[in-house]
Amino acid sequence: MSKNISRKGTKSHRNIFWIIFYNILVILFYPIVILVSFFNSKIRAGVKGRKTTFKKLTNWRNNIGDDIPIIMVNCSSLGEYEQAKPLIEKIKNENEKIQIALSFFSPSGYENFKYNNLVDVVYYLPFDLYWKISKLIKIVKPSAIIDTSYDIWPNLLFNSKKNGIVHYLISARLKENTSKLKPIIRQLFRILFSYYKRIFTVSDLDYKLFCSLIRSSDSIVNVGDTRFDNVEKRFQKFKDVNLFPTTWKDEKVIVFGSTHSECYDQIIPAIKLLQNENKKLHFVIAPHDPVENIYLMFKEKLSGLEKLSKISSNSEAKNIYVDTIGDLSKLYFSSDLAYVGGGFGNDGLHNVMEPAVCGIPIFIGPNNSNSIEAQELIKKRVIFVFNSSEQLINIVNSLLNDSNNYKDISQKTREYIIQSVGASEKIIEYLINDKII
């Protein structure tokens, strides 16, 4: 018994050490964030937006009875919200009285979120300072908290543990080379992840990595990726919708989605040559960050290029530049081929599920190891990797000229998505058993 008490005491002291150590770092770092905000518009928007968070939440909370259950859902940006959305829908279907308090950390998520009946209040998650998070918990009084993917905040976990609030992590991932698994720092993340009641991983590999980190599988469940549920629902909604000009009817369209500056040396020469070879081939350019100078650059390269925000169904535009946020996933449904960006930089490949659910062939750059879905679809030979503009041209021409191969690829990609849905339903069963909903 004395040994058990000794172990508990050692563990408790270790936890306190990491809490203090982390908070010292955050307190030292916070003034730097404020300083940088004067020179960075995105950070400045986040700092300014957070000034009204507590007032907004207080006004909302005062109109809700204490007997109404509230679930906080935390997302870094819109991408994480797309992971949480199918679960939120099922929570509301199970119990419409539950209030969903949705937070975003990034201005790109908060400012571009479109309100719907799934969410009851949307706000900026305060910076992870202990006293700010304590105030957040006191105002909202959640019955449960759901974090999404990588959106993990130590002080939020510390406070939820302290107040006996059930905490979940969905769409959980760990990269094999992540710093979370390195000596010393893994001690902090072992503590943090142990505070979750359940961690829902997206793959067998993630499940094994979390088990090795926490040294226990009791709280870890591999349910798959909720994004499959989301993209399949979007397929049912948009599969018959045409978002391009009527003049493009029966003509081929290639979407270049989530492009970065690192992509352009490869894709621009290919686009110019393909356009010269096939006058009835249309291009849709959707940069990850659709700023004006990128539009002007493509305006010089592509004839008849118009912004999506200016396009109508009877437009004479030859090509389209996507200058809006949140429309890319819908555009894939009216397309024949898709490029997904990120594979030529170091930040990682973007979401290949969105074009895959449409049953269209996809091509990507070589740096794609961060995407489990891309690896699986490469093995099925429905995603094509290229390293140069010449390879891209050959891939596109081959796909456009072989209708039988195109149909086979389309069928395989649809089958892959359909077989992968169901993660949200599995999570809901756990929430019901835990009496959260």
DSSP-assigned letters across all residues of 383-405: EEE-SSHHHHHHHHHHHHH-HHH
pLDDT confidence of residue 11: 57
As a whole number of angstroms, the distance between CA 122 and CA 131 comes to: 21
Instruction: Write out the H or E segment, with its range, that includes residue 287.
Output: strand 281-287
pLDDT digits (tens, 9 = 90+) for 12-41: 667 788 889 999 999 999 999 999 999 999
Predicted confidence at residue 179, as pLDDT, reads 82
Residue ranges of domains in the chain, CATH in brackets: 17-224+422-433 (3.40.50.11720), 234-420 (3.40.50.2000)
Task: Please tell me the predicted confidence (pLDDT) of residue 17.
Answer: 86
Residues with Cβ within 8 Å of 185's Cβ and at least 6 positions away in sequence, in order, are: 179
Give residue 186's pLDDT.
87
Q: What is residue 405's predicted lDDT score, i.e. its pLDDT? A: 94
Which pLDDT belongs to residue 409? 94
Position 12 scores a pLDDT of 63
Q: What is the pLDDT of residues 125-144, one digit of tens each?
A: 999 999 999 999 999 999 99
17 vs 159, more confident: 159
> Token pair of 83, please?
């992971």
Q: How confident is the model at residue 182, as a pLDDT?
A: 85
What distance in Å separates the CA atoms of residue 200 and residue 222, rounded to the nearest whole number? 6
C-alpha–C-alpha distance, residues 313 and 208, integer Å: 50
User: Is the pLDDT assigned to residue 5 strictly greater than 90?
Assistant: no
- Please tell me the distance from the alpha carbon of residue 316 to that of residue 307, in angstroms, as a whole number: 12
- The answer on pLDDT for 347 being more than 80 is yes
Please choose, from the candidates 33, 235, 240, 66, the residue with its C-alpha nearest in 3D space to the C-alpha of residue 139.
Answer: 66
Nearest 5 degrees, angle CA 83-CA 89-CA 90? 105
The reported pLDDT for the residue numbered 6 is 46
Give CA–CA dist 160/134, Å, rounded. 9
Cα–Cα distance, 242 to 247 (Å, whole number): 11
Asked if 416 and 356 touch (Cβ cutoff 8 Å), the reply is yes
Q: What percent of the chain has pLDDT over 90?
A: 77
The answer, yes or no, to whether residue 176 has pLDDT greater than 90, is no
State the pLDDT confidence band at 220, using cuts at 50, 70 and 90: very high
**β-pairing verdict for 337-340 and 362-364:** parallel
Q: How many angstroms separate the CA atoms of 274 and 288, rounded?
A: 23
pLDDT: is 320 or 241 the higher one?
320
Q: Is the pLDDT of residue 2 over 80?
A: no
Order across the sheet with 99-104: list the strands. Answer: 121-124, 99-104, 70-75, 144-148, 166-172, 198-201, 220-222
Helices then strands, counting H and E runs in the chain, come out as 18, 14
Looking up tokens 């978002």 gives 243
Q: Which amino acid is at 66?
A: D
The predicted structure's pLDDT at residue 184: 82
Considering just the CA atoms, what is the radius of gyration of the chain in Å?
24
pLDDT category, 66, cuts 50, 70, 90? confident
pLDDT digits (tens, 9 = 90+) for 304-342: 999 999 998 889 999 999 999 888 999 999 999 999 999
Please report the pLDDT score of residue 65 as a whole number.
87
According to the model, what pLDDT value does residue 326 have? 82
Q: Beta partners for 287?
A: 259
